[in-house]
Amino acid sequence: MVASSNVQVRDEVRDAILESDVGPQILYHLASDDDYASKLAAMPTNKALKELGKLEVQFERKEAPVEKSETVARSKAPAPIKPLTAGKGTSDVLIDGNGAFHGTYAQWKAARQAKRIR
């Protein structure tokens, strides 16, 4: 298809097509659409290079989902653990490490009736 096309472009445009990652798709598009290729050949170099950039974006978008699905791999690792927490704050019973109660008589009486201390 490309060899049968007779459209000629500037050297800068040709070099840009050859350096492109999607160059073969651009060449095929230009060979299949003679009107677009002749418009591209008639454009100034800067404008023609911008048009090539637009074509590259179109062809890269078409290829992107294929690359994305191949690179995404789900991990087989289990879900992360839930870390331990310190709790909700201070306890209701005010007993230190030696077993001595530190609080008011009302607090001691309430803890004793709730059977939290002896």
| Residue 85 lies inside a defined structural domain of this protein | no
The domain total for the chain is 1
**Angle CA(26)–CA(27)–CA(30) in degrees, nearest 5?**
85
Write the pLDDT tens digit of every residue in 82-112: 888 776 655 566 777 787 888 888 988 988 8
| Residue 92 lies inside a defined structural domain of this protein | no
Whether pLDDT at 42 is above 60: yes
| Residue 112 lies inside a defined structural domain of this protein | no
| Residue 40 lies inside a defined structural domain of this protein | yes
| Residue 33 lies inside a defined structural domain of this protein | yes
| Residue 113 lies inside a defined structural domain of this protein | no
Are residues 85 and 61 in contact, defined by beta-carbon separation less than 8 angstroms? no
| Residue 52 lies inside a defined structural domain of this protein | yes
| Residue 56 lies inside a defined structural domain of this protein | yes
Q: Residue 4 — pLDDT band, cuts 50, 70, 90?
A: low
Residue 21: give the domain boundaries: 11-70
